[in-house]
Structure 1
Amino acid sequence: MQSLFPSHGHDAKKPSAGFEGESTDNWQRIKDALRQMLPEADFNQYIEPLKSRVVSESEIVLTFPDMSSYQKVLNSYMDQLDYCKATSGLPVLLRFEIEGAGSTEVDPLVDLDYTVANDVPQVPDNYPEPGAQLPSDAREGSNIVARALTLQSQLNAEYTFQTFVNGPSNQFAHASCLAVADAPGQTYNPLFLYGGTGLGKTHLLHAVGNKVLKTKANAVITYITSERFMNELIYCLRFNKMWDFRRKYRNCDVLLVDDIQFISGKERTQEEFFHTFNALYEAKKQIVVTSDIFPQDIPDIEDRLRNRFQWGLIADIQPPDIEHRVAILMNKAEKQGMILQSAVAEYIATHAKGNIRVLEGALRRVIAFSALQGRAINVQLASEILQDVLVDKNSDSNISIESIQKIVAEHFKIKVSDLKSKKRQRALSFPRQIAMFLSRMRTQSSFPEIGTFFGGKDHTTVMHAVKKIEKDRKKDLELKAQLEAIERKLDVIS
């Protein structure tokens, strides 16, 4: 006989004569509750034939007649079985065996080894259909399982709102996250954060979780990267643990998902996340998602997911300006117990025009060289150390007007010849203006020179395009997202 839940020791405890009747009654109470919840035909076919065997005063073994009946109960009725056990208030452990399957032990698929308080409410008449979200009055018991599956919140304790350097480029995202942390599931749900790599999205994500835990210690916070979500899904599919997987992600108070863009093209992962999203949203649980890309620009993703990302609030994070970069450097230096001269901070901030990680890397390099060489940190030392490290991307010869035209055309799914034509349809003029703007920003070309690459356009036409895009991107979030997406592609070839 195959034991699906082997005993913890080599020798299982033998049942005591004084406990056998009581434990048998415990299983009968659970069966009676199940009888009220399941269709009569299903109960008679899958639950009634189960044989019970007492192992100890707090442990019962249930024997399934075959593997198919076990699979049916596992896939369709484990929520109900778990709920009946929880609402009965019985501190009993259920283990499963399959009759006639040999004696080889396998890893447990489901762990129901937990206890609940005796004041859990009775089973409601309107208990959901198999596989549906548990009712709210049952969630206190099921959260115990959720915590056990989650193990840890996976939050970085150093990433808090207090350690986040707020500035004009991230002020909106910071305020949105703070509002969500103060009232999870009530204000902006879901909250979608997007911005380039290394701009602080992950920091804010952890800060939300840490603040919620600070105000509500019993909250179930689940932080996960989309890659890990996919890997866990694959594992649970492989080893038939989908019931565990769904209970973990659908019984949390706050779900924090990092880099959601990586589920692009992963159909099964998208489907499972879609159902997880729906279950949490309907239960008014908070969902916070980060991405490097605006929702509309994430390729190979289902429209139903794309639409749900836009149900709540979308907050973007822009690259910090020079004053903000200086503040970040001063803050990082202070954390390392050193005072950074403002002139040194300004030098690094002026030349490190990438993301915050570039700033941190430059600062660490300067501090390390200072310690190793025994020299004071000043502008001269910083310039010597960083001259070969910090390169202005605008001076990179790989970025040309032709390469900008090619990438813009690919982004808008038009031809490069359309950018050079005289056609004035918005479907062509808008990408043309963006290409002119980026040509001005990312190359050293003059307005007349840029005009020659766009079919001999007058320099005033180029100037108008640059000014228009520069003005509109400050208030048009969609335009801003498109510019960022194109610039990330340009950064790859720079």
Structure 2
Amino acid sequence: MQTLFPSHGHDAKKPSPGFDGESSDNWQRIKEALRQMLPEADFQQSIEPLKSRVVSDSEIVLTFPDMSSYQKVLNSYMDQLDYCKATLGLPVLLRFEIEGAGSTEVDADPLDLDFTALNETPQAPAGYPEPDGAFPSDQREASNIVARALTLQSQLNAEYTFQTFVNGPSNQFAHASCLAVADAPGQTYNPLFLYGGTGLGKTHLLHAVGNKVLKTKSNAVITYITSERFMNELIYCLRFNKMWDFRRKYRNCDVLLVDDIQFISGKERTQEEFFHTFNALYEAKKQIVVTSDIFPQDIPDIEDRLRNRFQWGLIADIQPPDIEHRVAILMNKAEKQGMILQSAVAEYIATHAKGNIRVLEGALRRVIAFAALQGRPINVQLASEILQDVLVDKNSDSNISIEAIQKIVAEHFKIKVSDLKSKKRQRALSFPRQIAMFLARVRTQSSFPEIGTFFGGKDHTTVMHAVKKIEKDRKKDLELKAQLEAIERKLDVIS
């Protein structure tokens, strides 16, 4: 496992200045291991000329004859150095300097690789034998060693698979897209962009792709990361001059899975680095899968070149599940916990637990916990008692007014509320007006004539036409879907 964020301070062990020692036994052991890994000509040219100087028991300075030899080792043999240190069990820090550079010290400080994260004995990265075996005579997949080391302790959740995902009409397209990508990574739908509201299963599908690829190709490099951690690692590597390691990690994987990409909004340096990472992987025909709560066009403060790349491949949305789908999800979750849930109880919870899947899971856990603590059977009566103060149907008891909806819609489209009430027919105004009428009908259950009075006295037939049009178009217009979801999330905040 690659330790990008040490728990102790970066400069915990500083060298003792001015201390010269004999040639280190540790360095001799590393050299012997390198000799067995590299072609003899390469070893004699690049490794043998290096001079070593002991600074402390845990630190060695290597001196290069010139800058070109330093660059050669830095670019070609750092993976092998890291591997030898790990397999020999040598927790030493290698510092580099150039001969004739005076007191100037080149501190490469390579990232330590801990291959014992999952096992008592070190395991070799793909392409190399176990430590007690003979090293290969050539360099196999040298550029991927660091990235492959990461898979020894996978960041994937083993429980998130396609088998445990409850497929339904609301997520069928996204499920099929992810399955196609997992079967042929980098060949179809690259990149794959999944978007939908919170708690609808995007992360589950993301992990399912990685798990399926690993199942069919065990030595594949699967890198799962949240956009927040991508940004934090970038900051760390910029601070400690480890960008070479950062790029090796993210540009040498077979599948890159990025969760919640919308959080790079406004982060210019992170966007730039992700842009170059995207390009490197795309050109190498490596699979990229990205999730977001927002449609690409609606992610604010993001570079157009990156926004365009998100739309190069396939965009698949996940909608909130309908009543039958929610019942199926509840039955599946209950079965996993060893419970047999009556269909009537599942239907009661599914009917009253509006919203995302996490709301459903929370309601189910609450019912199961109370039943176990009180020793009562799980039935509709128990569910209604326990959940009466928890599950509230927003539509039946909503605090949202039509005026509030008009304000949110106007802000979203950067127009005035008075424009929504006017008789102007320009599309820039009529389209937001129709959306506001549709949301007023859905979120407040007001009658068509009542809604019409709030829009400058519009006739009820005008409101009916607007509601039907938006209802019909949102099923096939991805951009309209995204607009509605973005506005509804804002309405949920104030409700």
Q: Tell me the TM-score normalised to structure 1 length.
A: 0.79
Deviation (angstroms), 1:394: 1.3
User: Does the Cα contact within 8 Å between 2:2 and 2:149 map onto a contact in 1?
Assistant: no
Relative to 1, partners in 2 of residues 1:21 and 1:492: Cα closer, same or farther, differing over 3 Å?
closer
Deviation (angstroms), 1:148: 2.5
Deviation (angstroms), 1:418: 0.8
Relative to 1, partners in 2 of residues 1:27 and 1:343: Cα closer, same or farther, differing over 3 Å?
closer
Relative to 1, partners in 2 of residues 1:81 and 1:451: Cα closer, same or farther, differing over 3 Å?
same
Deviation (angstroms), 1:231: 0.8
Distance in 1 between residues matched to 2:223 and 2:276, nearest whole Å: 16
The Cα offsets for residues 231-288 of structure 1, whole Å up to 9 and x where unpaired, read as 1111111111111111111111100000000000011111111111011101100000
Distance in 1 between residues matched to 2:230 and 2:214, nearest whole Å: 22
Q: Please report the RMSD computed on the Cα atoms of aligned residues, expressed in angstroms.
A: 8.2
Deviation (angstroms), 1:477: 1.1
Relative to 1, partners in 2 of residues 1:124 and 1:33: Cα closer, same or farther, differing over 3 Å?
farther
Relative to 1, partners in 2 of residues 1:40 and 1:328: Cα closer, same or farther, differing over 3 Å?
closer
Relative to 1, partners in 2 of residues 1:235 and 1:13: Cα closer, same or farther, differing over 3 Å?
closer
SS at match of 1:371: helix
Distance in 1 between residues matched to 2:266 and 2:401, nearest whole Å: 31
Deviation (angstroms), 1:200: 0.2
Relative to 1, partners in 2 of residues 1:29 and 1:309: Cα closer, same or farther, differing over 3 Å?
farther
The Cα offsets for residues 458-489 of structure 1, whole Å up to 9 and x where unpaired, read as 11100110011111111111111111111111
Deviation (angstroms), 1:398: 2.7
Relative to 1, partners in 2 of residues 1:136 and 1:341: Cα closer, same or farther, differing over 3 Å?
farther
Task: Give the aligned partner of residue 127 of structure 1.
Answer: 128
Distance in 1 between residues matched to 2:329 and 2:137, nearest whole Å: 43
Deviation (angstroms), 1:62: 2.8
Distance in 2 between residues matched to 1:130 and 1:302, nearest whole Å: 46
Relative to 1, partners in 2 of residues 1:170 and 1:131: Cα closer, same or farther, differing over 3 Å?
farther
Higher mean C-alpha deviation, range 266-275 or range 133-142:
133-142
Relative to 1, partners in 2 of residues 1:84 and 1:444: Cα closer, same or farther, differing over 3 Å?
same
The Cα offsets for residues 2-35 of structure 1, whole Å up to 9 and x where unpaired, read as 9999999999999999999999999999999999
Distance in 1 between residues matched to 2:142 and 2:363, nearest whole Å: 50
User: Does the Cα contact within 8 Å between 2:22 and 2:54 map onto a contact in 1?
Assistant: no
Q: How does 1:324-335 map to 2 (within 5 A)?
A: 324-335=325-336
Deviation (angstroms), 1:353: 1.1
Higher mean C-alpha deviation, range 407-416 or range 344-353:
407-416
Distance in 2 between residues matched to 1:4 and 1:98, nearest whole Å: 26
Deviation (angstroms), 1:143: 1.4
User: Does the Cα contact within 8 Å between 2:419 and 2:429 map onto a contact in 1?
Assistant: yes
Deviation (angstroms), 1:153: 2.5
User: Does the Cα contact within 8 Å between 1:190 and 1:286 map onto a contact in 2?
Assistant: yes
Identity of aligned residues (%): 94
Distance in 1 between residues matched to 2:134 and 2:416, nearest whole Å: 49
Relative to 1, partners in 2 of residues 1:123 and 1:4: Cα closer, same or farther, differing over 3 Å?
closer
Higher mean C-alpha deviation, range 15-24 or range 418-427:
15-24
Distance in 2 between residues matched to 1:103 and 1:18, nearest whole Å: 11
Relative to 1, partners in 2 of residues 1:359 and 1:99: Cα closer, same or farther, differing over 3 Å?
same
Relative to 1, partners in 2 of residues 1:449 and 1:177: Cα closer, same or farther, differing over 3 Å?
same
The Cα offsets for residues 437-469 of structure 1, whole Å up to 9 and x where unpaired, read as 000000031111111111110111001100111
Distance in 2 between residues matched to 1:173 and 1:481, nearest whole Å: 15
Deviation (angstroms), 1:389: 0.3
User: Does the Cα contact within 8 Å between 1:76 and 1:131 map onto a contact in 2?
Assistant: no
Higher mean C-alpha deviation, range 124-133 or range 7-16:
124-133
User: Does the Cα contact within 8 Å between 1:133 and 1:279 map onto a contact in 2?
Assistant: no
Structure 1 residues without counterparts, runs of 5 or longer: none
Higher mean C-alpha deviation, range 20-29 or range 215-224:
20-29
Deviation (angstroms), 1:361: 0.3
Q: Tell me the TM-score normalised to structure 2 length.
A: 0.79
SS at match of 1:19: coil
Structure 2 residues without counterparts, runs of 5 or longer: none
SS at match of 1:44: helix
Distance in 1 between residues matched to 2:345 and 2:270, nearest whole Å: 47
Q: How many residues align?
A: 493
